[in-house]
Amino acid sequence: MPAAISYTQSANHRVVYGNYVVRRTIVALAILLVVTVASFATVKTAHSETLPSKISEADAENLSNELKTYICADQFSAPGWCKSYRAAKFGSSISDWVKSQKAARKVREAQAAAAKEAAREAELAEAKRQALAAEEAALAAKNDPAALARLAEIKAAQEIEKTSKAWTSFLAETDVSNLTMAQIMAIREFAATGNFPEANEILGYAYSTNKGPTPINLAEAYRQYGQAYMKGLKRVKPNLDRIWPKIPREQQMALLSEFK
């Protein structure tokens, strides 16, 4: 009888131990499954909102080389940055890709800084405009001669600034060596303000050469160069000296009377 009891106890012990091992195994497998699902969910959350073909060059900087290679394997829907990535990876070295990315990042940073500076300048300009408008209103309200004179000065300065910007823009868009008649008339308007001796210089050149729509008129060329000189543009003096002997005597006398 004791032998039978001992055998029964041994069998029960093996069953209990076997159940224990099974439970531990199930728990371990459950933990592994949870970790795997959590990792997959994290990766899916990070990339589910962006299709591979829509991943930008900036976003690609944070991806592994293996993932970039996988994304760029599709010849039909690969993002635009894949072309340079393939060239760097298979042509020379991945370091070229890294360098190009750093260069591109610097360009984006410079563009962002420029945009920020432009916004700051625009904000300062708007603040200046508002301050001037407030000053104008205050001066106009006083309605006394000194205040009105100051108001006129402010308006004149604003007009000069506006015209200066227009003149700079005009020069940037115009080939002054090959002017049209409309451009000649526009330059005459700028010259008439008295603030742009370069406009007179350009007109002097136009009237002293055959490279424009205006016929040669040495008297008018001298007049324009002379006005540029009187406004402080001393570099036109050799042009005055060159043209003067070629002007008819009666026109010389008229110019002398004009500039005396």
Identify the band that residue 42 occupies on the pLDDT scale cut at 50, 70 and 90: very low
pLDDT > 80? residue 219: yes
pLDDT tens digit string along 71-123? 787 767 778 878 777 777 665 556 666 777 788 888 888 888 888 888 888 88
Most confidently predicted of 55-69, 98-112, 128-142, 233-247: 233-247
C-alpha distance across the termini of the chain, in Å = 148
**Whether pTM exceeds 0.75:** no
Q: Which residue has the higher pLDDT, 227 or 87?
A: 227
Residue listed under structure tokens 């005009």:
170
User: How much is the pLDDT for 71?
Assistant: 78
User: How much is the pLDDT for 244?
Assistant: 95
User: How much is the pLDDT for 33?
Assistant: 67
Total number of residues shown for the chain = 260
Q: How many CB atoms lie within 10 A of CB 244?
A: 14
User: How much is the pLDDT for 97?
Assistant: 67
pLDDT > 90? residue 217: yes
Q: Which residue has the higher pLDDT, 123 or 66?
A: 123
Q: Which long-range contacts (CB under 8 A, 24 or more apart) does 140-147 make?
A: none
Q: What is the mean pLDDT of residues 44-70?
A: 70
pLDDT > 80? residue 220: yes
When the pLDDT of each residue in the chain is averaged and rounded to a whole number, the result is 79
Give which of 244, 195, 198, 248 is closest to 223, Cα–Cα. 244
Question: What residue type is assigned to position 173 of the chain?
Answer: E
pLDDT > 50? residue 200: yes
pLDDT > 50? residue 1: no
pLDDT > 60? residue 173: yes
Report the percent of the chain where pLDDT is more than 90: 32
Pairwise CA distance, residues 62 & 46, whole Å: 12
Q: What is the mean pLDDT of residues 147-170?
A: 84
User: How much is the pLDDT for 101?
Assistant: 77
